[in-house]
A and B are shown apart, each in its own frame.
Chain A
């Protein structure tokens, strides 16, 4: 398992688990929630940028930043944070560019999360 927490889009499983007190089941649950919620969060951010609504961008990017932060200070976290700051400052000139960066880093992060949660998923109760 790769162990870089920052700079490459790769999440460090060991440090995320340490942050959760070693609770593998919780890790699996949070990854599942994150993967489920991320498309909606991205859509909300995209819509705020399209409408040039700085306040909405601030709120939506902040909330998503908080969710991404559950898995460490990844590049996706930093990209969301920059978008949040743009919204707060009311300057959306770089919003499209940063959104593209967020999309790219998020894709990388999500693929790592899927692999990362695989051992934990086996601990979750089977549905049905």
Chain B
């Protein structure tokens, strides 16, 4: 997964860059909050970010608040990284919109576990967004089949929104996730097919 690391200290950036790369992630680096914000609301933005609390320009919580102000299908999972370890600081960080909080110096295994949690959360959000999108498409199709349909009293063609008359099966196939196979019902067999067969026989004689 693509992960942003924003920290003004190059030692921390390098440490995280190497560790995250070893765990199979693609790492994007920023040395200040403004650059972090530019990356996070740009195209193909990382969906997981490790933000230092105190950086030049925008600080971590400010970047986080800005992120929470934008509408996106998959929200960015933010982990705040800081030497601030008091309960008030942790509560303030999480209230500011961060998803998780790691204090420096951080433990290798704990960091990996928390990153994995973030990756899992982003994956779940992405799946959920895809499912919602599918449901919305289905709902649109159902809505298209609701209401009054103008139908020809004789040939049973249906008039669509563009004043074009379509066969019932063509119309429904275009507005619902169905396709048709053709057959003959017993009633029509008696009325239509047997009658035709009789005509052919009579004509042959």
B108–A21 touching, CB < 8 Å: yes
Closest to A80 in B: B83
B11–A23 touching, CB < 8 Å: no
Among listed A28-36, A97-105, A114-122, interface-contacting one: A28-36
Say whether, besides A20-B19, A62-B54, A65-B83, A30 and B11 are in contact (CB < 8 Å): yes
B92 at the interface (CB under 8 A from A): no
Closest to B111 in A: A19
The A interface is mostly helix, strand or loop, or mixed, namely helix
Interface residues in B1-22 (C-beta closer than 8 Å to A): 7-12, 14-15, 18-19, 22
Say whether, besides A21-B22, A72-B105, A66 and B52 are in contact (CB < 8 Å): yes
Which residues of the other chain, A, contact B14 by a CB distance below 8 angstroms?
A: 26, 29-30, 33
A69–B83 touching, CB < 8 Å: yes
CB distance from B55 to the nearest CB of A (A): 9
Which among B8, B10, B11, B18 has the highest number of chain A CB atoms within 10 Å?
B11
Say whether, besides A62-B54, A66-B104, A37 and B8 are in contact (CB < 8 Å): no
Q: Residues of A within 8 Å of B, CB-based: how many?
A: 26
What is the CA–CA distance of A6 and B115 in the complex, to the nearest angstrom?
Answer: 28
A112 at the interface (CB under 8 A from B): no
Say whether, besides A18-B108, A20-B108, A70 and B15 are in contact (CB < 8 Å): yes
Interface residues in A51-94 (C-beta closer than 8 Å to B): 58-59, 62-63, 65-67, 69-73, 77, 81, 84
26 A-B contact pairs sorted by A residue (CB < 8 Å): A18-B107, A18-B108, A19-B105, A19-B107, A19-B108, A21-B19, A23-B19, A26-B14, A26-B18, A29-B14, A34-B11, A37-B10, A58-B54, A59-B56, A62-B83, A66-B11, A66-B12, A67-B11, A67-B12, A69-B104, A70-B11, A70-B15, A72-B105, A73-B105, A81-B83, A84-B83
User: A23-B22, A26-B15 provided; 11 other pairs, C-beta below 8 A?
Assistant: A19-B108, A26-B14, A33-B14, A59-B54, A59-B56, A67-B9, A70-B15, A70-B104, A70-B105, A71-B105, A73-B105
